[in-house]
A and B are shown apart, each in its own frame.
Chain A
Amino acid sequence: MDLIFRARVGELLLNTVLLMLVTVPACVILGVGGAWLVERTRLRGHKWWAVLLAAPLAIPAFVNSYAWVSAVPSLAGLWSGVLIATLSYFPLVYIPAAATLSRLDPAIEQSAASLGLGAWRTFFRVVIPQLRIAVTGGALLVSLHLLAEYGAFAMIRFDTFTTAIMVQYQSTFNGPAGNMLASVLVFMCLILLLVEVRGRGNSRYARIGSGAQARPLRLPLRAYQLPAQLFLVALTALAFGLPLTFVLRWIFAGGPDSWAADEFLPALLQTLAYGLAGALATTAVAFPMAYLAVRHPGWFSKALELSNYITSSMPGIVVGLAFVTISINAAPNLYQTSALLISAYVLLFLPRALVTIRSGLAQAPKELDEAAQALGKPPLLAFLRVTLRLTAPAAAGGAALVFLAIVNELTATLLLSPNGTRTLATEFWSKSSEIDYAGAAPYALLMILISAPMTYLLFQQSKKAAGQ
């Protein structure tokens, strides 16, 4: 048993490492290349392409996987995993890279040129180093997603740690084997965090100086215009067009029967309810933390942020298992309650809210709060009318991102939801697991429709954040 188990761990480790070794570089190349084409060349229709390249993010990876399996039923194993993961996750690199490129001060490139560097050498010696933070950050996100993803890989029968833990959990409830696998997964996440801290480096690339910034330079594409357009058409067709097409095809194939309102409506309402409750709870927890970090920075707020950074990088399955174990042992009457599920969402998605609220708080300096006090408003009223009011848009943006994440969350929801809970994601999952692809299609379409505006919001926000 032990020997078999060890061989199993070795196989999972090999799968996971190979998956990351191929997918992460692929995502970086597609993401940076796309960002460069869109932001730095005279690409025709670059405004449209800028949005289209972010669009695949609106399609949950497990829906992408479902569409690809419908298109090519024989898909299975490592290379299928690489294909689907790359197409699903390259926008995670593209979005920050594009934001950084659009913000880079052309004056820096011009001074490089005046120091005698040619266009290509300028690109590699000045532009690429400035992309470092964006790219390492994006690559970390991709890696964490690869470790955490369950649905997309389970659908094509590609085994990673997460899928194996899920199988263990479902067969031998909370067995020690599952916990052992989970600890390997945790260990891998921690290593990734360390690598990212290293790779990010200490340099700051903020723009120095004041005054309005000129628009970035764009290189003429000339003969490369057509190949560039073809490349982008192919990429969006595979990452966005194909999944959307197959979801729609299944919907037409299923006809009106698959929209059975008595199944469909509760799932939609429950998803919205969980999404809203989770988003509100997460924002409510994130606000004081962000406030502390911005207004009263100190060891406490730093420790809080660090611990949050680590927990948030944990895959949903690990957080789910931890919550199951703790609640069964310590608070059995909490087990499988919606309160427990919402706390798991808070823990998983807190950083999304934190990051946006922090940047919002930075827009509301404490001097404004003090100005309100000097104008006769008591501290609490000053806080409500100035700081809270100025942070509200950012907090709403953060809440929207958390909402999006909850709508598409599958793993922790499967583990922790109360009996009888049906969300769009779990319902989609149970239908497609039963090979009822037509029945699953409406849920997929709804997840895409809910995600689309949020993805656009995320895209806009990244541009704005980079602009400051």
Chain B
Amino acid sequence: MTYFSHSRLPEPRIAASVATSTNSHLKIDAVTKNFGSQSVLMGVTLSVAKGGTTAIVGPSGSGKTTLLRLIAGFEHPDTGRISLSGSQVAGEGDWVPAHKRNVGYVAQDGGLFPHLSVGQNISFGLDAGKLPGGHRRVKVRVAELLRMVSLDPEMAKRRPHQLSGGQQQRVALARALAREPELMLLDEPFSALDAGLRVATRRAVGKVLQDAGITTILVTHDQGEALSFADQVAVMRGGRLAQIGNPFIVYTRPADRATAEFLGDAVILDAWMEGSLATCSLGGIPVRRPPAQGRVQLMLRPEQIRIAEDGPIRGVVVDTDYFGPETTVRLKLSVPPILGKATAADHRYHGGGEIITIRHWNASIARPGAELCLRVVGEAVAFPMEDLPSTSPAGTPGTGLS
């Protein structure tokens, strides 16, 4: 796996678990794409290992579909190169058309041919003349593929409109699998399904692809889906890849604040960095590779802040939201006692009074007005002060920025 840092950031703070570039299946090198005057991709570099699963995640409009269509061969890149299994398919005058790339593609709505039956859809890419056994072999193969995606082979006779959304997605996958592609591109294939079906279909599809050893790229705007599906996550924003890494790393050590907030809820506090210790309203918190000294922004995941009877930090419950399995608790932090004595008048620290949002499983302990004791586990991530985001999402109000 590779790590790509935002250009404004200093050198990587995270040890990149580097994949050897020799066995990379797909290489995208500095690819740009404009539509008219609009720059949709602005220099995308990505390498995908053979047999690996990569999720490209980003807000809608960030250029994910465009990137996928470039890989599939539906669009030409303006500059940059794309190569598959070591041979260049696009860029610098090279061009291999879509039908010769042997790349499977499953679109958001499945894209089944409405005029063909399910069986005919699946066998569309199979050439009866070239298969040993001809038409009978095709029939067997269609049944095999339907079983592979956990559908009844009897369904081959149905028409696409007689299937549910989830079934259509599976047929689309079976159709793409029929030609045994080495690379499978999935463009938000689960977003049209409702929540329960989405998880089940995602698991089933993931398993089929993994068992077949097919290199997979999944495009999604759902961070949970990206983190759970892939062994490499690429975060896309505004036509660039903001970060690439394994799911654990991009979630716990995001490269910048926007990535942090896109991948999940984040608690962000002003802090003072000295050495590798950051001081803030939650006390002194270790940071592995501080990007700067002095004033920084500190990012913690809500689940790192635990309610504990012997916790050193105090917060007063402002309000709560009950979600069933867990409760979101908004807390107003008080100045921690250790800091209160020693550094109350310290010019370096302006903390105290921030409102943070955490989660807890027990709704009954968090009544508005109650004082809770908190403890922080693990390390925090620090961002330099100038790395201000343009928007502040609702999940992290009152971070003391103003």
CB neighbours (8 Å) of A378 from chain B are: 97, 99
The interface residues of chain B lying within 8 Å CB-to-CB of A325 are none
Expressed in whole angstroms, the minimum distance between the Cβ of B312 and any Cβ of chain A is: 52
A interface majority secondary structure: helix
Cβ contacts under 8 Å, A386 to chain B: 113
Q: Nearest chain B CB to A390's CB is how many angstroms away?
A: 6
**Interface segment, A151-159, A189-197, A369-377, A445-453?**
A369-377
Our pick among A368, A371, A375, A379 for the contact of B97 (Cβ within 8 Å) is: A379
**Does A257 sit within 8 A of B, measured CB to CB?**
no
In the assembled complex, B175 has its CB within 8 A of some CB on chain A: yes
CA distance A156 to B103 in the complex (A): 70
Decide: B113 and A374 in contact? CB cutoff 8 A.
Answer: no
A374 close to B98 (CB less than 8 A):
yes
How far does the Cβ of A226 sit from chain B's closest Cβ, in whole Å? 43
> A373 — nearest CB in chain B belongs to which residue?
B98
Q: Is the CB of A367 within 8 A of B99?
A: no
Q: For residue A370, which residues in chain B have a CB less than 8 angstroms away from its CB?
A: 69, 72, 74, 98, 105
Q: Which of A344-388 contact B (CB under 8 A)?
A: 363, 367-368, 370-379, 382, 386
Partner among A368, A379, A389 whose Cβ is within 8 Å of the Cβ of B99 = A379
Instruction: Kindly supply a per-residue 1/0 record for chain B positions 83-104, scoring 1 wherever the CB is within 8 Å of any chain A CB and 0 otherwise.
Output: 0000000000000011111111
The one of B111, B115, B127 that contacts A371, using a Cβ cutoff of 8 Å? B111
Cα–Cα, bound, A52→B278 (Å): 83
Q: In the bound complex, do residue A377 and residue B125 qualify as a contact, i.e. CB atoms below 8 Å apart? A: yes
Q: How far is the CB of B20 from chain A (nearest CB, A)?
A: 29
Query: Which residues of chain B have C-beta atoms less than 8 A from A390's C-beta?
Result: 113-115
Most buried by A among B99, B105, B107, B125: B99
Taking a contact as CB atoms closer than 8 A, the residue among B97, B176, B178 that contacts A373 in the complex is B97
Among residues of B, the one whose C-beta sits closest to the C-beta of A363 is B114
Q: Which residues of B contact A379 (CB under 8 A)?
A: 97, 99
Contact between B175 and A367, CB atoms less than 8 A apart: no
CB atoms of B176 and A374 under 8 A apart? yes
How many residues of chain B are within 8 Å of chain A by beta carbon?
25
Expressed in whole angstroms, the Cα–Cα distance for A315 and B90 within the complex equals 52
CA of A382 to CA of B74 in the docked complex: distance in angstroms? Answer: 13
A373 touches B73 (CB 8 A): yes
B124: interface (CB < 8 Å): yes
Given contacts A374-B99, A374-B105, A379-B99, contact A368 B113 (CB under 8 A): yes
Query: Among the listed B100, B114, B124, which residue makes an inter-chain contact with A372, where contact means beta carbons less than 8 Å apart?
Result: B124
Q: A368-B111, A368-B113, A390-B114 are in contact. Are A374 and B104 (CB under 8 A)?
A: yes
- Residue B360, interface by CB 8 Å: no
- Residues of A within 8 Å of B176, CB to CB, are 374-375
A376-B179, A389-B115 are contacts. A371–B105 as well, Cβ < 8 Å? yes
Q: A374–B72 contact, CB under 8 A?
A: yes
Q: Once the chains bind, are A373 and B114 in contact (CB under 8 Å)?
A: no
Interface contact tally, CB-CB below 8 A: 56
Minimum CB–CB distance for B368 against chain A, Å:
38
A297 → B minimal CB distance (Å): 13
A377 to B114, CA, bound (A): 17
Q: In the complex, A379 Cα to B97 Cα: how many Å?
A: 9
Indicate whether A375 sits within 8 Å of B72 (C-beta atoms), given known contacts A368-B113, A370-B98, A370-B105: no
Instruction: Verify B74–A373 contact, CB threshold 8 A.
Output: yes
Contact between B115 and A375 (Cβ–Cβ < 8 Å)? no
Scan residues 376-415 of chain A and give those whose CB is less than 8 A from a CB of chain B: 376-379, 382, 386, 389-390
CB interface residues, B 53-111, toward A, < 8 Å: 69, 72-74, 97-105, 107, 111
Contact across chains for A382 and B115 when beta carbons are under 8 A apart: no
Most buried by B among A363, A374, A378, A379: A374
Q: In the assembled complex, how far is the CB of residue B8 from the closest CB belonging to chain A, in whole angstroms? A: 37
Query: CB-nearest residue of chain A relative to B107?
Result: A367
Nearest-neighbour CB distance to chain B for A185, whole angstroms, equals 42
The residues of B that contact A377 with a CB separation of less than 8 Å are: 99, 124-125
Nearest CB of chain B from residue A290's CB, rounded to whole Å? 19
> In the assembled complex, which residues on chain A have CB atoms less than 8 Å from the CB atom of B124?
372, 375, 377
Whether the pair B103, A374 counts as a contact (CB closer than 8 A) is yes
CB distance from A379 to the nearest CB of B (A): 7
- Complex contacts, A376 vs chain B, CB 8 Å: 99-100, 102, 125, 127, 179
Cα A368 to Cα B178 in complex, Å, equals: 17
- What's the Cα separation between A372 and B127 when bound, in Å? 13
A363 and B115 alpha carbons, distance in the complex (Å): 11
Interface positions, chain B 151-191, Cβ under 8 Å from A, are 175-176, 178-179
Q: Which A residues are in CB contact (< 8 Å) with B105?
A: 370-371, 374
- A382 lies within 8 A of B107 (CB): no
* 29 residue pairs from A and B, CB less than 8 Å apart: A363-B114, A368-B111, A368-B113, A370-B69, A370-B72, A370-B74, A370-B105, A371-B113, A373-B97, A374-B73, A374-B98, A374-B99, A374-B104, A374-B176, A375-B124, A375-B125, A375-B175, A375-B178, A375-B179, A376-B100, A376-B102, A376-B179, A377-B124, A378-B97, A378-B99, A379-B99, A382-B99, A390-B113, A390-B114
Additional A-B contacts beyond A367-B111, A370-B105, A376-B100 (20; CB < 8 A): A370-B74, A371-B113, A372-B124, A373-B74, A373-B97, A373-B98, A374-B99, A374-B176, A375-B124, A375-B176, A376-B99, A376-B102, A376-B179, A377-B99, A377-B124, A378-B97, A379-B97, A379-B99, A390-B113, A390-B114
What are the nearest 7 A-B pairs in CB distance? A375-B125, A373-B98, A374-B105, A371-B111, A373-B99, A370-B74, A376-B99
